[in-house]
Amino acid sequence: MAPDWLGLHDRIVVITGAGGGIGRAMALAFAAAGARPVLLDRDQAAAVETAALLPGSPLVQRCDVADPESVAAAADATARLLGPCEVLVNNAGLLRAGPIASLTLEAWNQLLAVNLTGYFLCAKAFGRQMLARKSGAIVHVASIAGRHPQPWSGAYSVSKAGVVMLSQQLALEWGPQGVRSNVVSPGLVRTPMSEAFYRIPEVAEQRAGVVPLRRVAAPADIADAALFLASPRASYINGEDLCCDGGFGRTLMGLVPRPGFDAPAD
Ligand SMILES: NC(=O)c1ccc[n+]([C@@H]2O[C@H](COP(=O)([O-])OP(=O)(O)OC[C@H]3O[C@@H](n4cnc5c(N)ncnc54)[C@H](O)[C@@H]3O)[C@@H](O)[C@H]2O)c1
């Protein structure tokens, strides 16, 4: 295989939420492909920990994606110190428990501010640099919760469904100027966001058991999908949503009792 099969060598790749589980795996995967990751996170210490795992000295910036000034400053600093952003991975996100019936407006707005508006702000600030060069790719990390409602999780599913549509709209508006926009929708992934669930052994086992591949994703599984979508290997893919869930989203008909249609015994 050609040494730079993905064609990402030296590309400037901005990753939001780079201190978290999937963001860190993205940074490792893009660096392994020869790209130059720029690590953004509200939690600067976590992003610095990610940087310590990478070759060279990647640029780390404290950035709150929900704050337009913070995003603008990160975009300016990236362009000034390294050059224009060529790939943006919109990944920073939150998950909070909460039934809709008792959800406060504040909690609703707080989640959307990060998971949806944060994606919009970053797409705008870094996308401007791509539009100026008439080339670039954006990969948004949504979730299968954007296709299947995730109950008791406040605005989470709504935010992810919004991200899918934001991406499709960008694909239409920016495609003519050489900027692609696509989504990766992970299923169940073990990261700091979900770690509390997996610490309970029965829950970990049950979660792996509902996935046809019989395992929960590692963050690297999601990073591999993003790597492809960001790369010139996906140069004719625009406005798509790549589900990366081990087949979990296809299990609906398997849940229905159907006497006489039993799986063969091993
Ligand atoms: N873990 C899963 O099972 C799973 C499944 C589907 C989708 N996702 C999505 O993947 C993405 C990454 O999640 P993860 O599992 O790695 O979570 P994580 O909690 O490990 O990482 C999220 C990172 O985002 C950062 N962040 C949060 N708010 C921010 C803000 N306002 N500005 C900048 N950074 C901020 C956090 O500091 C953290 O480092 C999220 O968008 C999440 O919704 C996760």
Secondary structure of 1-43 in HEC code, one letter for each residue: CCCCCCCCCCCEEEEECCCCHHHHHHHHHHHHCCCEEEEEECC
Nearest to 47 by CA among 72, 17, 22: 17
H or E element that contains 97: none
* Ordered structural domains, the chain, with CATH: 12-188+220-241 (3.40.50.720)
Strand partners, 244: 186
Nearest-atom index, ligand 1, CA of 22: 16
What residue spans of the chain are helical by DSSP H?
21-32, 44-52, 68-81, 105-112, 118-133, 156-174, 195-198, 201-209, 219-230
Residue-level pLDDT at 266 = 81
Instruction: Return the best residue to mutate from 16, 22, 40, 111 for the ligand 1 pocket (most ligand atoms within 8 A of CB).
Output: 22
Q: Which residue CA neighbors atom 32 of ligand 1 most closely?
A: 64
Least Cα distance to 188 among 197, 180, 178 occurs for 197
**What is the residue-level pLDDT of the chain in tens, covering all 266 positions?**
578 999 999 999 999 999 999 999 999 999 999 999 999 999 999 999 999 999 999 999 999 999 999 999 999 999 999 999 999 999 999 999 999 999 999 999 999 999 999 999 999 999 999 999 999 999 999 999 999 999 999 999 999 999 999 999 999 999 999 999 999 999 999 999 999 999 999 999 999 999 999 999 999 999 999 999 999 999 999 999 999 999 999 999 999 999 999 989 88
Instruction: Say what the pLDDT of residue 3 is.
Output: 80
Does the Cβ of 46 fall within 6 Å of ligand 1? yes
Task: Report the pLDDT value the prediction gives residue 16, as an integer from 0 to 100.
Answer: 99
Does the C-beta of 114 come closer than 6 Å to ligand 1? Answer: yes
User: For ligand 1, is residue 26 a contact (CB within 6 Å)?
Assistant: no
Catalytic residue among 119, 156, 198, 236: 156
* CB 64 near ligand 1, within 6 Å: yes
Q: 180 by DSSP, 3-state: which?
A: strand
> Is 119 marked active-site?
no
The answer to whether the CB of 245 is under 6 A from ligand 1 is: no
Ligand 1: which of 43, 109, 193 to mutate, judged by most atoms within 8 Å of the beta carbon? Answer: 193
- The finding on whether 146 has its CB within 6 A of some atom of ligand 1 is no
For the Cβ of 92 lying below 6 angstroms from any atom of ligand 1, the answer is yes
266 CA to centre of ligand 1 in angstroms = 39
Q: Which atom of ligand 1 is nearest to the CA of 222?
A: 10
